[in-house]
A and B are shown apart, each in its own frame.
Chain A
Amino acid sequence: MPPKSRTALKEKANPRDVFTGAYYIDGDVATAYGAIAAGCKFVGGYPITPSTEAAEAFVRRAPYADALFVQMEDELASIETVLGASWAGKKAMTITSGPGYSLMMEGIGFGAAIETPFVIVNIQRGGPSTGVPTRAGQADIMQAKWGSHGDYGVIAIAPDSPQECFDLTIKAFNLAERYRAPVMLMADECVGHMTEKVIVPPADQIEIENRKAYQGPPGRYMPFKPDRDLVPPMVKAGSGNKLYITSHLHDEKGYPVEKSGRGAFNKRLVDKIRLNADDIIDITEEDVEGADVVVVAYGIASRVAYKAVVEAKKEGIKVGNVRLITVWPFPEKRIKEISKRVKGFVVPEINYGQIAFEVERCAHGNADVVLVPHGGASVHNPEDILDAIRLAAKGKGQHKGTIEFETRLAKRIFPSGLKPKKGEGE
């Protein structure tokens, strides 16, 4: 277990960048304010519904915070320009949604391979391809981890309110700088377009982190030689270090190599996140001790599930609530611990099952997993989640596999004619 990162420079936010006050704004605008408060100085973006409001809010405030926004010609250009800005020393971010996220996957893999700190905000929307631009969805969450080709590690964070959009954007930048890795802020259109009260605290209450600076003599710098916490210090272009950064498989000096032997470079990319997981994982739990059923959710689905949990408690079911703030790395150890003591998990998601399979994998058959899917373009009906909780409470906790709960919406639109074979779930 590597030691915690010591030399990342922690400091208070710059008061010029923090627009302290109480606002009534939506999640997109809160993300932009959070980015400026975290010290983000460069955003390369491309308009895509539902995330354009974030870019527009950023560009309006950017001159006051000495930041720069450039609208690029497409998403491919946006992500590459963010990488360039990050290597030139500025904190950089891009804002997009589903179709743009798919286009950026090559750039994300590139950024992960050359260990660039950057943040991508993905305001998820409905449906594959163009989908439903103006409605919510949560179906990109697996793509956040496995989207690009090859092995690498990422961190994904899911806010559930505009206030969290502000706070978690700052946290996303801090994690990106600490681990020199891509961090995805996986909001959804519902949270992005929801207008709520957001309180921006004074600058001395906001802590930001900067990337580890290289302390040795110039010319001896090796861009990919890690410290004991698996994260190398970073310099910026133009500081006399004659960097050679390649997307090819490379060694510690940055020169391309043919074999993945010395330095075990791509294993370190994965280990950097996986072995530091305890430091990164952030979940909130409520009433999990002594519960029969635990609801595991993230993003807007967790807010809808909260209503179902409250109703279920009134009926006497012992229900607990786990909200994933960091979705990747997944809290495997904690879910495994909880699974030994509960009858079942209920996982509501606005997709046809992505994190539910992770929960099932970590539960190791100790508990049922009931997935409450949703096709996107709206949020769950709390009655469905309540029924799923009741179903999980009645179970014996010995089920193998995920039970897919048939929601009211599914019954109305897709009358189920196809029944799964016996033994393959109910």
Chain B
Amino acid sequence: MEHSIQIEETIDAAETRLSMEKWLRMDRIPHIWCTGCGIGLTVSALVRAFDKLNLDPDQVCIVAGIGCTGRVGGYLRVDSLHVTHGRAIPVATGIKLAKPELTVVVIGGDGDLMSIGGNHFVHAARRNVDITAICVNNFVYAMTGGQVAPTTPSPAFTNTTPYGAYETALNIPSLAESAGARYVARWTALHIRRMSNSMMEAIRKPGLSLVEVVSPCPMYYSRINRLGEHLETMKFYHENSIIKHGEPTENLKIDFQKQIIVGKFVDKPTGS
């Protein structure tokens, strides 16, 4: 059942555009992401979330790992750290504990944040450190050429599973909830405005919040598995994603080319 969403006021869009540009390093646009990549949409949503929350750019800190998603730090005009592979969450923990008035956002891919950084994610959720983690899930390690990731559904083809992936795909919201995260949501790259609202809620909420963004990877995942390119993937999300707020997280696994359940799943009061 769909909750009603707030209708956004149609404000003068030119002002919106200029205020977006204050958050971006315009000398580095156009960015390096492929045509139709969901990371561009994630950054767009994140910047709008920052803007709507009226955050001071000097008090925001972005920590990103290695990979396609890790490049986000280079395009946002805030203090950004581009750290080694998988270690974004411990670095963010250090920043937040040393200077609690900063707003710290961690951005990473599914390989960076959940594979090599999986250990760190679980413990950060237990520790309930007040950061927001945005995990862009494109089901592969894209930057290094399309290797299998912990979220790759079976039996998809990737470069290191040329005969089909065989491991159980990780259910990220379930992992986050059982580790103790306070806010868990998942959206696809197509649900751009809802994703932006979710990011707003996640940043505003104290405690560890996770927003998972299911994103197309036109270069590797979609192409190797003969799923078309970016536009076909977006159409697939349009037809096959279903919004179910509050769904129990154990039902949320993503199978190969099957339904994707999106929405806000966990929104617990902090401190419990």
Residues on A close to B: CB < 8 A?
A: 45-49, 52, 55-56, 59-60, 63, 69, 71, 73-75, 99, 129-130
Shortest CB distance A125–B (Å): 12
Contact between B145 and A52, CB atoms less than 8 A apart:
yes
Chain B interface mostly helix, strand, loop or mixed? loop
With A and B bound together, what is the CA distance between A55 and B159 in angstroms?
A: 9
- B84 at the A interface (CB under 8 A): yes
Chain A interface mostly helix, strand, loop or mixed? mixed
With A and B bound together, what is the CA distance between A60 and B86 in angstroms?
A: 27
Contact between A47 and B116, CB atoms less than 8 A apart:
no
Q: Which of B94-130 contact A (CB under 8 A)?
A: 115-116, 118
- B168 at the A interface (CB under 8 A): no
Interface size on B, residues (CB 8 A): 19
What chain B residues lie within 8 Å of A52 (beta carbons)? Answer: 144-145, 147, 159-160
Contact of A56 among B86, B115, B143, B159 (CB under 8 A): B159
Contact between B161 and A59, CB atoms less than 8 A apart:
yes
Q: Which residue of B lies closest to A51 (CB)?
A: B144
With A and B bound together, what is the CA distance between A55 and B116 in angstroms?
A: 18
Contact between A63 and B163, CB atoms less than 8 A apart:
yes
Q: A47-B141, A55-B160, A60-B162 are in contact. Are A74 and B115 (CB under 8 A)?
A: yes
Contact of A59 among B85, B144, B162 (CB under 8 A): B162
Residues on B close to A: CB < 8 A?
A: 66, 84-86, 115-116, 118, 141, 143-145, 147-148, 150, 159-163
Contact between B147 and A47, CB atoms less than 8 A apart:
yes
What chain B residues lie within 8 Å of A63 (beta carbons)? Answer: 163
What chain A residues lie within 8 Å of B118 (beta carbons)? Answer: 73
Question: Given A48-B144, A71-B148, 20 more contacts at CB 8 Å?
Answer: A45-B160, A47-B160, A49-B143, A49-B144, A49-B145, A52-B160, A55-B160, A56-B147, A56-B162, A59-B160, A59-B161, A60-B162, A69-B160, A71-B160, A71-B161, A73-B150, A74-B86, A74-B115, A99-B84, A130-B85
Contact between B84 and A74, CB atoms less than 8 A apart:
no
With A and B bound together, what is the CA distance between A47 and B158 in angstroms?
A: 12
Contact of A130 among B66, B159, B162 (CB under 8 A): B66
What chain B residues lie within 8 Å of A60 (beta carbons)? Answer: 162
Contact between B84 and A47, CB atoms less than 8 A apart:
no
Q: A52-B159, A56-B160 are in contact. Are A129 and B147 (CB under 8 A)?
A: no
What chain A residues lie within 8 Å of B143 (beta carbons)? Answer: 49
Contact between A99 and B116, CB atoms less than 8 A apart:
no
Shortest CB distance A49–B (Å): 5
**8 tightest A-B CB contacts, nearest first:** A74-B116, A47-B147, A47-B144, A73-B115, A71-B160, A56-B159, A47-B141, A60-B162
